[in-house]
Chain A
Amino acid sequence: DQQVKQNSPSLSVQEGRISILNCDYTNSMFDYFLWYKKYPAEGPTFLISISSIKDKNEDGRFTVFLNKSAKHLSLHIVPSQPGDSAVYFCAAVTSGTYKYIFGTGTRLKVLA
């Protein structure tokens, strides 16, 4: 059972525009959510996270939004840059455990 889903395998955006990556989850016990970025031949790199007590967290060009009632989170990148081209994974975890559940990833391509 895929508890964390990223339904868009790929996304192309023009440089300077907004990139919106989406993630849905099914397990209501998840209370902490994260986004990672992965370049080829490298391990994932942590980007930004959000606790379930918040609905928004911002870090520079990256903002994560959480809609608990819809069990949905999204990552906004503004403005998008060519260096943002990578695979983005969302992940979720429940307090008291360390079993992070990752989505299948969305490949973002930012066009110059």
Chain B
Amino acid sequence: DTGVSQNPRHKITKRGQNVTFRCDPISEHNRLYWYRQTLGQGPEFLTYFQNEAQLEKSRLLSDRFSAERPKGSFSTLEIQRTEQGDSAMYLCASSSPGGERGTQYFGPGTRLTVL
């Protein structure tokens, strides 16, 4: 299966700890997105990469959050000094420039629980 993969699938951490999530997009996709989803809400846009360049960033992405895509392939999302409000599902998606506009392929997500 060559879909979008995310690791870990679940992460439980204590408040104040740092966590890092990884996303591996579909190999030929140069566009990569991170979203956060809380219970009863839709995905909230966090950031967008085209190749290795981070081109858009939401105000939701506070200075405790950082995302990278160093070689234009996989991406990492790091949350420093986690807070209980960071508990959510973190979704990654990728898309191809040649594909139908907006056709993002989502990974299964990483569920973060901050105790």
Contact = CB atoms under 8 A, between A and B. Distances in A.
Interface of A: 4, 6, 9, 32, 34, 36, 41-46, 49, 51, 89, 91, 93, 97-105
Interface residues of B, number: 27
Interface of B: 4, 31, 33, 35, 40-45, 48, 50, 55-56, 58, 91, 93, 100-109
Contacts of A32: 101-102
Given A43-B91, A43-B108, A100 B102 contact: yes
B43 A44 contact: yes
B102 A91 contact: yes
A2 to B, nearest CB: 10
A102 B41 CA distance: 9
B42 A41 contact: no
Contacts of A91: 42, 102
